Structure 1
Amino acid sequence: MYEDKTYESLLNEKLSKVDSKFDKREGSIIYDALAPNSAEVAMMYLQLEWMFEQMFGDTADREYLIKMAKDTRGIEPKPATYAILKGAFNIAVPIGTRFSLGTLNYIVTELIDDTNHTYKVQCETIGTEGNKHFGTMIPINYISGLSTCELTELLIPAQEEEDTEVFRKRWRDSFNATAFGGNRADYMEKIKAIQGVGGAKCYRTTNELGELVGGHVKCVIMSSDYAIPSTTLVHTVQQRIDPTQDMEGYGLAPIGHIAHIQAVKGKVINISCKITYEPRYGFADVKSYIEGAIDNYFKSLIETWEDSDHLIVILKKIESEIIDVIGVKDISDTLLNGSASNVILDPDEIPIRGEVIG
């Protein structure tokens, strides 16, 4: 807005207003008086431009975007959360018992199965680092008779604090669809506010007899780490939204609705192709890199699942990802699930990497 208000332009403007009969050359009294003033005024214009940007949601910095969103829509960034995992033990352990695995500590929070001695275990480190580690834990304090303590499964993924641009989009989207009284936006807003949910789709659905009647709503969810959610997360969402499923409105679903919470399904994509390698390279050398490239492509697809009618795994895109791997010279005869064509997924499916043969 004030791009033309630079130090040089301001100084020249001030000097131009001084009569030419006076010495205005660099080093003169007039020049030396106006130069620092021009620098200060240029800084003032920079501050004015910054303040102007904070007035609009598209350009506001995070601090002022949060203030604007809270004042206009009553929403704030989603906070970072703690990972909830399943711990398996050979004996019963008290709630509150603490364990360590690597650099992270965990605390037992809830019993899952007293016969198999499985518990919910919460990582004490906030954020997504707690989603990544599994294996044998070490008790922080001695427990008599304990010989097995394993972290076996991620139940509810942790999330980092909501990214600024993601929050900005959520704030902008809140003007386009008002959440109210069990409409689609209301279900989406309430479900996605639950820890561990990364995306959702909501539809009308049939009753137990297969009849499309009023009041039945199917909500398909994806976990916040862009994967198939655990049964624990699906159950948690069901209990929060509609625990009784009797149209009585004892959850967040309104009276007259029955909400059916389901997990997104995974579609395994097997990939075979003929790869020409650079000298001194073979499939064993590049396999992990190829799998990583494919996983990154699938993740970028899955991130768009909520806003897509159905995802399409594009064969040419797979080839493009593979050929960019170091050691790969050329690729041909690519097949996805045995066919030389794109794979169109159902609305409630996300791609899962299967076997890769090259």
Structure 2
Amino acid sequence: MSQTYEEILQGMLDRVPSNVDKREGSVIYDALAPCAFFLAQQQFLLDNYIDLVFSNTAVGEYLDRAVADHGVTRKAATAAVRQVSTDMDVNIGSVWGINDLTYKITELIAENLYKAECTTVGAVGNWYTGTLNPVSNVIGATATLGEVITAGTEEETDEALRERFYNKVRMPATSGNAYQYKQWALEVSGVGDAKVFPLDRGPGTVTVLVVDNNKGISSGLPDIVAEHIEEVRPIGATVAVENPAAKQIGISASVMLDGSKTLEEVETAFKESLRDFLSGMVFNSGNISYAKMGGLLLDTPGVEDYDELMVNSQIGNIMIENKEIPVEGVITLTEAD
């Protein structure tokens, strides 16, 4: 057990004969105090060092080292892939900019519709939409940055890496069983969670559903995951990687405000709470509780009470099928008279 500076110093003084002056400022006190302070520092550093070598407390590069022996590595940041529409043909490889970001055209999807990859990795590549300005020598063409095909992601966080490590060591993943397919899917940058359906289309088949780091649907993610699994899976299995179906959760209610927030502020805060709640339900529950929706609304700052709460136009729980995930639908709050 670690001791404080005061405890170490007192322990030293207790071992000095009682006929020696041990008061603060005495020769023996002043001689022992720096040593006690140094030992307390070393104990503090040793405690921190111990925390850094165990996977449940390690952070940063020390966590990378702690999990590496089990074959787990931190997922790197990835670049966003976006749709770009143009009014005429443009060259593959041409570069376009918006704000401080640039996007490189990588593939033709359809006439005047292209895939473009952000040259900056991370979630920032998902943020902007609108008119692009040519960075390459492009004459006469205009381009618009459209929807996200594959979301850009930040480097995997310590907590996400730790959770993935726990999943690997706690779940018996062998011989291409369901746990192993989930682990293979989670190894791909941008994958926030996965759900596996063995024998989904008959013997020798596996279906894997994937969501992104925000527990949402990313249209380009299944192809990336499928490519990775194809490299590592056992011979013989037929694997399909897909997005789950989105189950819209729409909510309407009449709210009584307590005067501290406007209706707009309440609605914004409630939407944020609802998104967090629904993301926690992804692949974890087959039921969206009507009572919990009411609890979220009542816990929203500015709400004193509510009435006429409807979830998907009904009073009652909402069932989520095996291959569905709940997502935010239309939220309509009105102020009670």
Paired residue for 1:320?
Answer: 295
Paired residue for 1:32?
Answer: 30
Paired residue for 2:96?
Answer: 99
Amino acid paired to 2:212: S
Residues 93 and 332 of structure 1, relative CA distance in 2, 3 Å threshold:
same
- Where do 1:153-168 residues align within 5 Å? 153-168=147-162
Cα offset for 1:288? 3.5
Paired residue for 2:107?
Answer: 110
Amino acid paired to 2:240: H
Cα offset for 1:340? 1.6
Residues 130 and 339 of structure 1, relative CA distance in 2, 3 Å threshold:
same
Cα offset for 1:150? 1.1
Equivalent of residue 43 in structure 2, options 31, 42, 45: 45
Name the Cα RMSD after superposition: 2.3
Cα offset for 1:7? 0.9
Q: Which moved more, 1:326-335 or 1:156-165?
A: 326-335
Paired residue for 1:224?
Answer: 213
Aligned counterparts of 1:255 and 1:111: Cα–Cα separation in 2: 33
Amino acid paired to 2:249: I
Cα offset for 1:109? 2.3
Residues 261 and 141 of structure 1, relative CA distance in 2, 3 Å threshold:
closer
Residues 288 and 166 of structure 1, relative CA distance in 2, 3 Å threshold:
closer
Aligned counterparts of 1:288 and 1:16: Cα–Cα separation in 2: 62
Cα offset for 1:285? 6.1
**What is the SS of the residue equivalent to 1:226?**
coil
Aligned counterparts of 2:59 and 2:267: Cα–Cα separation in 1: 42
Q: Which moved more, 1:274-283 or 1:24-33?
A: 274-283
Cα offset for 1:267? 0.8
- Superposed CA deviations along residues 195-229 of structure 1, whole A, max 9, x for unmatched, are 4332211112454xxxx4x2011212223332123
Paired residue for 1:246?
Answer: none
The answer (yes or no) to whether the contact 1:127–1:159 under 8 Å persists in 2 is yes
Amino acid paired to 2:237: H
TM-score after normalising by structure 2: 0.89
TM-score after normalising by structure 1: 0.84
Aligned length: 333
The answer (yes or no) to whether the contact 1:181–1:254 under 8 Å persists in 2 is yes
Paired residue for 1:122?
Answer: 117
Query: Gaps spanning 5+ residues in structure 2: where?
Result: none
Aligned counterparts of 1:198 and 1:180: Cα–Cα separation in 2: 22
Cα offset for 1:281? 7.1
**What is the SS of the residue equivalent to 1:54?**
helix
Aligned counterparts of 2:299 and 2:172: Cα–Cα separation in 1: 44
Equivalent of residue 297 in structure 1, options 277, 294, 318: 277
Amino acid paired to 2:216: A
Residues 75 and 293 of structure 1, relative CA distance in 2, 3 Å threshold:
closer
**What is the SS of the residue equivalent to 1:187?**
helix
Equivalent of residue 18 in structure 1, options 16, 29, 34: 16
**What is the SS of the residue equivalent to 2:169?**
coil
Paired residue for 1:84?
Answer: 81
Equivalent of residue 234 in structure 1, options 205, 208, 222: 222
Cα offset for 1:319? 2.1
The answer (yes or no) to whether the contact 1:157–1:225 under 8 Å persists in 2 is no
**What is the SS of the residue equivalent to 2:170?**
coil
Amino acid paired to 2:32: L
Query: Gaps spanning 5+ residues in structure 1: where?
Result: 243-250
Aligned counterparts of 2:200 and 2:297: Cα–Cα separation in 1: 42
Same amino acid, percent of matched pairs: 29
Residues 289 and 25 of structure 1, relative CA distance in 2, 3 Å threshold:
closer
